[in-house]
Amino acid sequence: MKPTITVSSLDAERLETLIANLPPEESAHHDGLLEEIARAKVVEPQDMPPGVVTMNSTVRFQIDEPAEQFCLTLSYPKDMPQIDDGISVLTPIGTALLGLSVGDSIDWPRRDGHLVKVRLLEVLFQPERAGQYFR
């Protein structure tokens, strides 16, 4: 069972627009992101709980098989060239991270079809927590 996720109204709007503007051959690969947004609890940015992954959040997470930890910033594709530690929300792991709360885990399909368990360990920076509601 997938954990409950929370997404800001601003992130939901921006991500839906991003996917709508992708070329048709690319947008079909991102149905999972649209499904995540559709099932999310959507809140206003100023009402976002502090331990939730939002866009531009820097997080520490773990994947199983192989067991590895990462510290990365969930990013929009257009911002990736400027972010050294970024992970695009359009990647399978990026989509899996969106909206998770600290301690949550989710099984998510990799591009090769195998499932990977993603566990959120810590939110190191969240724009909403820092008062950056429109970043």
Cα(100)–Cα(23) distance, rounded to whole angstroms?
28
pLDDT value at 43 more than 70 = yes
What's the pLDDT at 109? Answer: 82
Cα(109)–Cα(114) distance, rounded to whole angstroms?
6
At 50, list the tokens: 């502090």
CATH number of 45's domain: 3.10.50.30
Per-residue model confidence as pLDDT tens digits over 88-126: 999 989 999 999 999 999 998 877 888 889 999 999 999
DSSP secondary structure code for residue 30 in this structure: G
* 1 falls within a domain: no
What's the pLDDT at 45? Answer: 96
* 135 falls within a domain: no
In terms of residue numbers, what domain contains 63? 6-125
What's the pLDDT at 1? Answer: 80
Cα(108)–Cα(95) distance, rounded to whole angstroms?
9
Per-residue model confidence as pLDDT tens digits over 51-93: 999 999 999 999 987 789 999 999 999 999 999 999 999 998 9
